[in-house]
Chain A
């Protein structure tokens, strides 16, 4: 029942804080990370109802600078970086010529550089991908791995913005960038997240991370582990690399056609344009189980005719909805409100096909946007 940690795992700058608070540590993408502090469900609910903090310092940060930084990166992602103004961020993916996804990431545009935040498990893969394409910049772009310089703390929940507010938060719209002064330290932050709630992801100089973490805990934030991060992101329909994303899935198939808006040439564009026009052969769908048994990754999805039509990409018990939910790539003919089955051990459990997300936060906050 216990997870055995064999290989030496890397530790974030907040590792001592997690251990001291009694968090259960597990290996994730080569890192020793807290999966829960108290209870996944309690941490999940803290983020849905108040605010929680997540140590996501295992994620990688790459700095891209130079006169042609945006032009060069714009050839590797389906986002329209020409339209990305200073002080804003955008969610996008590195895509392959086949249209598949190398990794998903957020690009932050600061005054004199871009900062890419990539998945922990894909840091080496992404770095190699960027290095491979760097010669195309003809020396006009500088690429630096600054992952060791930064801790990253996700501050999420309906109370997150008000709790962090030290002046100018109200001017920061969704995917806007601001700077918070926390424990006397200037911390760049984007109004982004991976929970389906409002909040920020805050960059903290690595050697100051513990001071900022302690401050946020003292102010009432609930420390949350990767367990709650996964249930929160899945309810919100947000894909996780290795589950909903991989080298063979395209943004169109995943329902991220809205994120494909680069008018210029980039890797995979032909495939994306064609899939957008013709419709993809398969689509990522939500599945709501009419049974208490959770569907887990890899379980078969079975059509009413008894044919296996897909496999569960992610599956968990949804704490907010109170029943199991799952995602799966299904042939395009399977549309919301149809019923399929999921093979749970020897049983076939009925499941309703739904559009993602499973959960959308109540629109209680007034929309605030930078002019």
Chain B
């Protein structure tokens, strides 16, 4: 169970929690990631709100929360080794886990097929 935002974050449904990261397409577009700034556990976000920053050698990009929720886990290894976002963005390169009281935004996100169609136009 996974859905995608047009801003290239994914939300993987795990019960009433969502594991959030960026897609391989985003990682490829960024190039070598050298810095990631993630929120602390306990911060709450609305859907679409900026929750962090990822920087490649050349550029700074914002991260947007695909579903409203409160951060319950942060992936420290990806902060220590931002290269994980290039090598394994969907698995070891996850960013945060959120707990959502209002998961309605999830259903509005793109399915895998719809996301693939979306990025094929780039």
Contacts and interface: CB of A to CB of B under 8 A. Distances in A.
Nearest to A322: B34
Interface in A166-184: none
Contacts of A296: 60
Interface stretch (B12-20, B24-32, B89-97, B109-117): B24-32
Contacts of B37: 293, 345
Interface stretch (A35-43, A155-163, A271-279): A35-43
B25 to A, nearest CB: 9
Given A2-B122, A231-B57, A36 B31 contact: yes
Interface in A54-91: none
Contact of B58 (A2, A227, A292): A227
Nearest to A39: B32
B55 interface: yes
A1 interface: yes
A41 B35 CA distance: 14
Contacts of B57: 40-41, 227, 231, 316-317, 319
Contacts of A39: 31-32
Main secondary structure of the interface of A (DSSP, over half): mixed
Interface string B1-15: 000000010000000
Given A227-B57, A316-B57, A317-B57, A1 B32 contact: no
Of the listed residues B32, B57, B60, the one surrounded by the most CB atoms of chain A closer than 10 A to its CB is: B57
A1 B30 contact: yes
B53 interface: yes
A294 interface: yes
Contacts of B58: 35, 40, 227, 230, 316
Contacts of A316: 57-58
A316 B58 CA distance: 7
B35 A293 contact: yes
A230 B32 CA distance: 14
B55 A293 contact: yes
Contacts of A293: 35, 37, 55
B75 interface: no
B29 A40 contact: no
Contacts of A1: 8, 26, 29-30, 59, 61
Contact of B34 (A2, A294, A345): A294
Which 6 A-B residue pairings sit nearest by Cβ, starting from the closest? A317-B34, A40-B57, A41-B32, A1-B29, A292-B35, A39-B32
Given A1-B30, A296-B60, A317-B55, 19 more contacts: A1-B26, A1-B29, A36-B31, A39-B31, A40-B32, A40-B57, A41-B32, A41-B57, A227-B31, A227-B58, A293-B35, A293-B55, A316-B58, A317-B35, A317-B57, A324-B34, A324-B35, A345-B37, A345-B53
15 contacts: A1-B30, A2-B122, A24-B31, A36-B31, A39-B31, A40-B56, A41-B32, A41-B57, A227-B58, A292-B82, A296-B60, A316-B57, A317-B55, A317-B57, A345-B53
Interface of A: 1-2, 24, 35-36, 39-41, 227, 230-231, 292-294, 296, 316-317, 319, 324, 345
